[in-house]
Every structure is written in C-alpha cells, then in structure tokens.
Amino acid sequence: MQNDHKDYGTASRRSAGEKVQQSAPKLASKRSTTGKSEVHSGMPALHVAMAAPEISPFAKSGGLADMVGSLATALERLGPKISLIMPCYRSVLQGSFQLEDTGVRFTVPISERREAGVVLRAKIGNATTVYFIRADRYFDREGLYGTSESDYPDNAERFVFFSRAILEVLKLDPPDILHAHDWQTALSIAFLKAEPGLHPQLSSLKTVLTVHNAAYQGVFWHQDWHLLNLESRFFTPAYLEFYGKINFLKGGLVFADRITTVSPTHAEEIKTTEQGFGLGGVFRERADSLVGILNGVDYDVWNPETDPFISKTYGPNGFLGKKACKADLQRTFCLPESPDVPLVGMVSRLAGQKGFDLLQKALDDMLRRSLQFVLLGSGEKRYQDFFGSVAMAYPEKVGVRIAFDDSLAHRIVAGSDILLVPSHYEPCGLAQIYALKYGTVPLVRATGGLRDTIHQFDPKTGVGNGFLFGPYQASNLLEAADQALALFDRKQEWKTLMRNAMAADFSWDRSAPAYLGLYQKLAGG
C-alpha cells in the first residue's frame, strides 16, 4: 500500500481563549548549541523518554507498570532527565492525580481518517514528567486491554493511535533516547524508522525496546494493515508480517537500535523455538543488539521494616513481627492459627504461564502434607473455578481470594513462610524478589529470572536463598516442596535461610546503572 500522506502528525496549542485546568508552562527545556537539554552546570543532560502502556501508580495490570515506574525514579537519581508517556485511561481520569492540561492538541492518521488527541501531564519523583495521551474513545474504558472475557476487538487501532501519539509528544521536547516497552509501544519505533521524512525533529533519536513477555506480541489479522498507513513493502517477513498476520512487537524488534529483556537468562531463552513464541529467529538475528538486564524492585514500597500494609513490621534481626503477620494472614483466610504449620502463599495472575496447570496436578498431593495454602489472584476462569472448589474442599487448609488487592498481596508476602512460583516460563518475576526481603522463602521453577534470583539452599554450607526445581513436572514440584517442608522443621537452619533471603539486594541501584550505560553508549555512538 503506497501512501501519499505528507504530514502524519500535527500538534497545536489551544488558543488563548480556551480554558485549561492550569496554565501550561513551556514544555521545551533550555537548549544547547548541540540541541541537547542542559542542566544548570551547562553540561548536556541525557534525556530519556520512556513509553509504556501502563505505569504505576497511574495504571497497573502487572509487573510492567511497577518496573517502568520504579526504573524511572531510579534513573532520575542517576542524573538523566526522564519523561514518561502512557495512555490516559479511566483509572487516570478518576484517580486522585494532579493532572495538568498542557494545551497541546494533535491529530494522527488512522487508515484514511485523522484521529485527535490531547496531552495531559503530571509529575512523579523529583522532576519526572508523565505525559498522558487522552483520547477517550480509545482509553476511557473499564479495563486497560479488555474485559475479563476477552481483549478489546479494536486493540490494533488503539495502539496504532498510541504509538503515533508517542512521536507527537516526543516532538515537543526531543529526547536523546526513546525507550519503548512491549508490543503496545513497539510501533512507535517502526513508524519513526520506516518514515524518517515525517519526523525530522527526531532524526537523531536512538531507540531501545524492552520485551517484558515475548508471548504477548500484538498479533492482528492482515486486514488491519490499512490502520497503520505504512507502505506495503513493510508487510513482508523482513518487517511486520508474521505468518500472514501483522505483528506489532516484531515491527519494533526489527527497527530498534537496542533490544532488552528483563533477565540475563531470559535473553538466552527467547532465542529458542520454545520460548521465542515464533520470534526466536528474529531474536537470534538481533543477538548482537540484545541484552538481558535483571529487573530491580523498589524497597521503599516492599520493605517489612516500613510496610504500612502489614500487621507488624520486622527486620532481619527479629522475627516476632513476621509471626504476627502469619497469624493475621491465617485469620484473614479463616485458617487455624498454627505457628508451626508451614504456610505456603501465592500472589499471581491466574494464567497457564504461571504454572497453574502444573499446580493443578500436584495440589492434592501437596495438601496431604502438613501445610496451609493461600492464593490471591485473578485471571482465567478455569483456574478461578478450580481454586474456588479446592478452597471449599479443604476449608481448614486452603484460602483463596479471587481479586486484585495490593494490600492483601503485601500481607501474603509478609505472612507466608514459603512463596510458590512454579512458572512454566518467567521473564523475570517480581514476587520472588519481594518475598526475599520479607524472609519468605521462594520455591520456584528454575527458568528465566527465577533462575537468576533464587539459588538452592545447601544445609551443609548454609548458602542459598530458596528452593528450585527443574523439568516442568508435578513430581519435581513435590520433591522441592518436600525439601522445603523438611527444612522448615529445623528451626535454626530455617532462620539461616530466612536471613540469607533478607540479605539479598535486587534494588534498582544494581540494575538502573546498566540501563544508563546502555543509553549513554547509544547517545554517544
């Protein structure tokens, strides 16, 4: 499809007579003769714009939101100027956030028509600007990507619009780096590189694409191609075509200057047929530009010494608070308050990726052991129904809450003795990292970021921070569970294991400098 559009995006300010929520200060920073943003010292300051479909605390469906929000805060502490871009969902509009109307209006092409958007903004951290793309017909909905039953049927159009809108925001104050996250933003890189003449202000922009979960690629049928307004030569296997369909993530992978994923082990796994989900060949082709950087966590939010959600705070020098948290959790789920019975917890999206099919096979056998089990999560109906029936069958041993409840998630992490993460695959995982800080011992499958963060405890040496199992079989899960339950009865060894776990450091202070180094190398190249 050959296009004759000359201007793919227009942005304008409101006229002086139009009202805004607050006066809109100028968006452009002081410019040096090189065109880079300047700090007060007169030295160029690296400017990184991150685009994501969700960012905590504004909208969240999973770990992606936490990662982007906390990474931005950590990067800001290292010196760069950080901007964030995300859709203006209903949760943003109805939240208690201090939103400001920038006065910027724009239109972008969708198929043969133009669709309009508005740019709002807010601040997080000390000086990070968050830009919100407001287009209520696309984003003012109950869910971010769909309902409990299915994805929204117009997701292709929604995120074509968002990807083009990202470039309009970048033109307001061109950054050095665009860091896009997942398939919902990947087309912003494809549009930038496939149509350079339409974005001359961004000609020197370098791009990074982070793949948080390669199984989610934004694949749509070929008849949606008209929405993209790209030449037909880009609907080929070398670019966005994927087994006769359009693959948004592939478009970003092909064009990005650098690709990252969220753990070193997963960076190798996605090159394989099994975990590349059809894109293994693309990851192998881009191997020289691919790096795995382990996710960090925000210990200002996940810290048992300061956590406002738990019944009693505690630290590595005393576990009385953890005992109180366990009793509180048992009361919450109407389980017997038995301090000597190991309590196994899970906080997870209920999806096959997370190992729930494996747990279904193993759970009856596990419940024959002396233990209690609590689960918080929501997702696929088949798993919701299954665990609901298990809770009814084992009321003295099992508690289940089908919900998304951040407060209860903190209480489960604090009150459990063991956190179970039996994932079929796991790019990084955050739950096991949170658990470590709370002295809650992770029991995980050795895959992806789980392998990178959890190391088998050796009672002989006292080294290690959890338990792992390998091949994806119920018998291996049960064997690892038996190892953990046996050690739980040896109280001094268990306390050593808890202290090992709490000493682990997976803060962004370790991971954010790796991103900064990547940006600096790109900007300098």
131, 121 contact by CB (below 8 A): yes
Can you tell me the distance from the alpha carbon of 54 to that of 212, in angstroms, rounded to the nearest whole number? 12
Q: Phi then psi for 132, rounded to 5 degrees?
A: -110, 130
Cα distances from 408 to residues 9, 145, 235, 332, in angstroms, run 44, 24, 46, 9
**Binning pLDDT at 50, 70 and 90, where does residue 62 land?**
confident
CA nearest 141: which of 187, 87, 103, 218?
Answer: 87
511, 298 contact by CB (below 8 A): no
**Binning pLDDT at 50, 70 and 90, where does residue 525 land?**
low
Can you tell me the distance from the alpha carbon of 19 to that of 17, in angstroms, rounded to the nearest whole number? 7
Number of Cβ atoms within 10 Å of the Cβ of 522: 18
What is the DSSP secondary-structure string of 260-308? EESSHHHHHHTTSHHHHTT-HHHHHHTGGGEEE----B-TTTS-TTT-T
Q: Which domains does the chain have, with CATH numbers?
A: 46-296+509-524 (3.40.50.2000), 320-506 (3.40.50.2000)
Q: In 350-482, which ranges are E strands?
A: 372-377, 398-402, 418-421, 441-445, 467-469
pLDDT tens-place string over residues 124-180: 988 999 999 999 999 999 999 998 788 999 999 999 999 999 999 999 999 999 999
- Which residues are within 8 A (CB) of 309 and not within 5 positions of it... i.e. 6 or more apart? 406, 407, 410, 411, 414
pLDDT tens-place string over residues 385-397: 999 999 999 999 9
pLDDT tens-place string over residues 279-318: 999 999 999 999 999 999 989 999 999 999 999 999 998 8
The dihedral of CA 322, 328, 333, 334: what is its sign? positive
Give the residue carrying structure tokens 């738990």.
310
**Binning pLDDT at 50, 70 and 90, where does residue 2 land?**
very low
pLDDT tens-place string over residues 216-258: 999 999 999 999 999 999 999 999 999 999 999 999 999 999 9
User: Which H or E element spans position 381?
Assistant: helix 381-393
pLDDT tens-place string over residues 465-517: 999 999 999 999 999 999 999 999 999 999 999 999 999 999 998 899 999 99
CA nearest 347: which of 305, 396, 401?
Answer: 401
pLDDT mean across residues, the chain: 91
- Which residues are within 8 A (CB) of 190 and not within 5 positions of it... i.e. 6 or more apart? 163, 230, 234, 239, 240, 251, 252, 254, 255
Can you tell me the distance from the alpha carbon of 463 to that of 457, in angstroms, rounded to the nearest whole number? 6
**Binning pLDDT at 50, 70 and 90, where does residue 44 land?**
low
Amino acid (one-letter) located at 408:
L
State the DSSP code for 37.
B
